[in-house]
Chain A
Amino acid sequence: MSLLTRQKSPSGAAEPAAPAGAARRMRRWTPYAFLAPYLTLFAVFMVLPIGFGFWTSLHEWDINLPAKPFVGPENYTDLFDPASVDGGRFWTAMRATAIFTLFSVPLLIVLPLLVALLMNGRFRGRNLYRAVYFAPYVLGVAVVGFLWRFLLDGNIGLVNHYLGLDVQWTTDEPPVWIALVGVTVWWTLGLNAVIFLAGLQDIPRELHEAAMVDGASAWRRFLAVTLPGLRPVTVFVVNATILASANMFGQSYLITAGAPADRTKTAIYLIAETGLRHFDMGTASAMSFILAAFLMAASALVFGAFRDRSRR
């Protein structure tokens, strides 16, 4: 309450009308003092690195060369010039990231939701099934990548052997996308399913019962009770999944190694390679900022889409 009064007063603590006790407990810098620990961490681990990264992106910044000439926006204009070496490579990588995100996100929303609905029912061995769906997620990307790289091999792999197919899952487009998306869905489906399951269990039973009393069909109840009840969870899952998919690196690094001809080399893969293998930190930072801009726009769209619906 005292806070409200103080915000209204124009000259802050100098205001004699403020109760003396409140002023002692609540000085002007009190909120900042409480914020300080987080603010310090935020400044040291977020603001400074981002600022430093942006500063880097304006230079021809090679980690070990003493000369780091300032080049202004040249790293950015280079990336937007398709005729330049890095520009061509970068947009191929952005295309790879876009394709992967576009195909993996819908599957990673719909399938986990279906799994969660099944797991939410009552049947024998329910906990076992929950564990089975979640199990792949506990594996590290190295294990998943190595396992599927050999299972999916077009010439010596078991997948083709048992299915009697002759598909080059790791070196041919488009099968390579089916492989990468499929492996990712198999691997991370469990996490989203568990989050959806928690969301489902938060929906009050009374709402379902009321709908049933009103004579709503199962499908109608799903649309009118379950889906709206899951909205906050869904916003989180959609955003987290988009960001995770756009940051895909390990799967293509281990399963395809960028094949065919670097077309599954994702943006993060290329950024890591440019900065850490070719030591070209300036270009790598510029790439990161462009990718970050795209991801921020995507997040804003998701939040916008869900917010509009909730106001209706």
Chain B
Amino acid sequence: MTSPLSRRSFLTLSGATGLTAALAACGGGTKIGSGSTAPASAAPTFSGGEYSGPKVTLDYWNGFTGGDGPHMRTMLDSFNKEFSGRIEVRNVTRRWEDLYPAMPTAISAGKGPDVAIIHNDWIGTFAARQTLVPLDDVVGALELTEADFIPAVWNAGVYSGKRYSVPLDVHSLADYWNKKHLEKIDLTEAPADKESYEKALAGLKDAGIATPFWMPNKWPAHLMFMSLLWQYGGQLYSEDGAKALWGSDQGAEALGWMVEQIDKGYSPAKVAIDTQYAAFKNDKVSFTWDGIWQINDLKTNAKSLEWGMSPVPNIGGTPAVWSASHNFVLTSQAGKDPNKVQAAKFFIDYMSRQSVEWAKAGMIPARNSARQDPTVADLPQVRMAEDVSIFHFLPALPGVGDVQSKALELAVAKAVLKEASPADALKEGVATADKLLADNKRKYGQ
């Protein structure tokens, strides 16, 4: 009879197996993301011309789920047609808030995008995370220069001296207004300064619109706050990204103006998420501030509503508005295969030449020269970009998204919900933000 495995030795053995497996799993975990950028240098420098490598398939992620989606697919189809048999681009569209958390993890697993569109404020974070691969040569081949771009958009793509993005467009917050409501007080255009805006609100209330301007406590409340902060002359973060500056007196003034709209009875208290926009679509609200990309949504889903769109009014003294941009990026997943890197660069090159077509999706072309093209110059959103110096952007600090959501957005919500005075809410928020900024500095090793 063979000597049986004793209980003790069985447990030891299974324990050892488990431990080995656990250590192996940990070993695999620590390697994720490290050194993945190295093979990218094997790809030849991009200089335009013709794609000569073997046939490749690229996965392309973006968040164009709204009225902008069909335009992007049209552009994509024409690319696939032109490069058929050589490069095939597969489109994956998902909501931005799902795309960002999924992207780095999917890329580590090799199941993410090879090329993607991301917002300017995410470039620093993703570059620091080695999710992206530099694109300096594409920019060179496209003959793109800073002079042709809004400086903030252009500079957002640079991290540690390397360029990681090719800007596609700019989009900003806008002031949407109800034409019929404004007719009641004899206005044909949204008022553009503080005095006339407040006069219009008072007039609308007298004219029977009980609450003409609903103040959200969540999205886009923080975009409104930032726009007003810049208008009052305030700043978001210090140059070196070590300090949050939005708790200043200017910040308190900006947030104070938002809360004032509730105190004066122009807005109901404690408006729930997205309700202000739903109410605007249903003819209950005269003014609402929202992104210019909502143009397509209003056109298709609120057909009976007569509305207009104007730049955000100048409340604080200096015209300023929150803006962001969509940018092409190349990921470290593509970076593992020189042919994919090359193909992706052809793709980015091709797509960024179509910014005129893209403007029809409701966006503002990022290139100054493209905005002057007669076919787009008269689009309502392009007219808003007559003076690009009013466009303000979130700095591309690595990890800035976390600071915004954990500190700034929470502070704005607390003040709008009347749980704290604007000054107190901001003070508390800034204390949190400074801790997070210090953490980020250490984490991303800047």
Bound complex: CA A43 to CA B21 (Å): 10
A297: interface (CB < 8 Å): no
B352 to chain A, nearest CB (A): 26
A32 to chain B, nearest CB (A): 6
Bound complex: CA A52 to CA B23 (Å): 9
CB atoms of A48 and B272 under 8 A apart: no
- A171 partner, pick from B5, B271, B439, beta carbons under 8 A: B271
B138 to chain A, nearest CB (A): 23
CB atoms of A261 and B413 under 8 A apart: yes
A245 to chain B, nearest CB (A): 23
CB atoms of B417 and A52 under 8 A apart: no
**A244 — which chain B residues lie within 8 A by C-beta?**
none
Given the known interface contacts A55-B26, A260-B217, A262-B410, the answer about A28 and B5 at a Cβ–Cβ threshold of 8 Å is: yes
**B147 — which chain A residues lie within 8 A by C-beta?**
none
Mask for B250-290, Cβ within 8 A of A = 1, else 0?
00000000000000000011111101001100101000000
CB atoms of A85 and B25 under 8 A apart: no
CB atoms of B18 and A63 under 8 A apart: no
- B22 partner, pick from A29, A32, A48, beta carbons under 8 A: A48
CB atoms of B417 and A13 under 8 A apart: no
**B410 — which chain A residues lie within 8 A by C-beta?**
261-262
A243 to chain B, nearest CB (A): 26
**B284 — which chain A residues lie within 8 A by C-beta?**
156
**B432 — which chain A residues lie within 8 A by C-beta?**
85, 88
B94 to chain A, nearest CB (A): 14
CB atoms of B4 and A28 under 8 A apart: yes
Given the known interface contacts A154-B272, A260-B270, the answer about A84 and B108 at a Cβ–Cβ threshold of 8 Å is: no
Say which one of A212-220, A271-279, A301-309 lies at the interface with B: A271-279
Say which one of B29-37, B64-72, B338-346 lies at the interface with A: B29-37
Which B97-142 residues have C-beta < 8 A from chain A? Answer: 100-101, 104-105, 107-108, 129-131
B402: interface (CB < 8 Å): yes
**A62 — which chain B residues lie within 8 A by C-beta?**
129, 443
CB atoms of A85 and B435 under 8 A apart: yes
B214: interface (CB < 8 Å): yes
Mask for B198-233, Cβ within 8 A of A = 1, else 0?
000000000000000010011000000000000000
CB atoms of B22 and A64 under 8 A apart: no
A47: interface (CB < 8 Å): yes
**A47 — which chain B residues lie within 8 A by C-beta?**
18
Given the known interface contacts A170-B272, A171-B271, the answer about A64 and B129 at a Cβ–Cβ threshold of 8 Å is: yes
A174: interface (CB < 8 Å): no
Q: Nearest A residue to B271 by beta-carbon distance?
A: A155
Residue ranges of B at the interface with A (Cβ–Cβ < 8 Å): 1, 4-7, 10, 14, 18, 21-22, 25-26, 29-35, 100-101, 104-105, 107-108, 129-131, 214, 217-218, 268-273, 275, 278-279, 282, 284, 402, 406, 410, 413-414, 417, 419, 432, 435-436, 439, 443
Residue ranges of A at the interface with B (Cβ–Cβ < 8 Å): 12-14, 23, 27-29, 32, 39, 43, 47-48, 51-52, 55-56, 60-66, 68, 84-85, 88-89, 149-150, 153-156, 168, 170-172, 256-257, 259-262, 276-279
Write 29 A-B pairs (CB below 8 A) sorted by A numbering. Answer: A13-B4, A14-B1, A27-B4, A28-B7, A29-B5, A39-B14, A48-B18, A55-B26, A63-B104, A64-B108, A66-B34, A66-B130, A88-B432, A154-B268, A154-B272, A155-B271, A156-B275, A168-B270, A171-B271, A172-B270, A257-B273, A259-B413, A260-B413, A260-B417, A261-B217, A261-B410, A262-B410, A276-B101, A277-B100
Beyond contacts A32-B5, A52-B22, A171-B271: 7 other A-B pairs, Cβ-Cβ < 8 A, are A28-B6, A29-B5, A61-B29, A65-B130, A153-B275, A156-B279, A278-B402
